[in-house]
Amino acid sequence: MTALFDIDLRAQRRDRASRIGPELFLAEHVFADCLDRLTLVPRRFGNALLIGCPDQGWPARLPADRVDIRDPGPLFAERAGGELITEDDWSPNGSTYDLVVSIGTLDTVNDLPRALRLLFESMTNDALLIGAVSGGDTLPRLRGAMRAADAAAGPALPHVHPRIEASALAPLLSRAGFVMPVVDVDRVEVRYPDLGRLVNDLRAMGATNVLTERSRRFLSGSAYRAACQAFVEKATDGRTTEVFEILHFVAWKGSEG
């Protein structure tokens, strides 16, 4: 079976973001939200695992005595003093972590149930998993623009990732063995003057297309103009509001896990 995501390309996209940016406004928003949620847990953690670390200052902000860092991008991992990871293809070193924080990478793994199970296996009893992924309603304006481009250019091709639906995430966590899963939806709105500015931000986030069956052609002039026109047609006062849907999740590894 063909993998949905090109994992090598995902690493390259994160490396490009590290070199040209990275653009952290969305990642920082998500990480700060996770920190706020952690303040509600009356506990300091011993050994934490942070997966997804575009900012090397993040580990010091976690309420943990020790933080191991993993990132699917080689440069992000290296600059944060961590190691490379493919979340659905790694070997946890026993039940090690009483806190696992996963920021913005689990939506581009090929086997999410296995990735969650491996996280579960890496955790001690009564450990906490907290994190966030992009949800199903992310980038509606970009999706509309790409449909307009395909209408101008010919057959439709995959441009934007399929996303995890909020209703599916809690059951996936439960099937992996976690207890008391909670999923919240945060819709972050960002106003853009044009499509190019949005695409530049996505590149600097490492969030452009890494589908295996993605379109490998450049948009023709007519297709690109159609996409830009579709995007600006949704504008109000000269800017188009794009939406990033963030699924925040919290779950525990029970003492019987």
pLDDT tens readout for residues 150-196: 888 766 555 566 678 899 999 999 999 999 999 999 999 999 999 99
Among residues 41, 17, 200, which one has the least CA distance to residue 105?
A: 17
Across residues 110-118, what is the average pLDDT?
Answer: 97
Any domain includes 99: yes
Identify the three-state secondary structure at position 122: helix
Distance CA 181, CA 166 (A): 12
DSSP single-letter state for residue 71: E
Statement: residue 91 has pLDDT above 90: yes
Judged by average pLDDT, the poorest of 10-14, 99-103, 152-156, 249-253 is: 152-156
Which of 59, 73, 72, 134 is closest to 101 using CA atoms? 59
| In-domain check, residue 39 | yes
**Could you tell me the CATH number of the domain that includes residue 71?**
3.40.50.150
Identify whether 108 is part of a domain: yes
pLDDT number for residue 134: 94
Which domain covers residue 117, as residue numbers? 7-139+163-189+244-253
- Residue 123 domain-assigned? yes
Segment 38-65 mean pLDDT = 96
Q: What is the pLDDT of residue 257?
A: 47
pLDDT at residue number 155: 60
- Could you give the CA distance from residue 56 to residue 77 in angstroms, rounded to a whole number? 9
Residue 146 lies in a domain: no
DSSP alpha helix (H) spans, the chain:
7-20, 25-38, 58-61, 74-79, 112-122, 140-153, 166-175, 195-205, 221-232
Hey, what are 157's tokens?
Answer: 């091709």
pTM for the complete prediction? Answer: 0.93
Q: Is 229 inside any structural domain?
A: no
Domain annotation covers residue 87 = yes
Per the structure, how many domains does the chain have? 1
Residue 228 lies in a domain: no
The amino acid at 89: D
Q: What's the CA gap between 132 and 127, in Å, rounded?
A: 17
Whole-number Å distance between alpha carbons of 157 and 212: 12
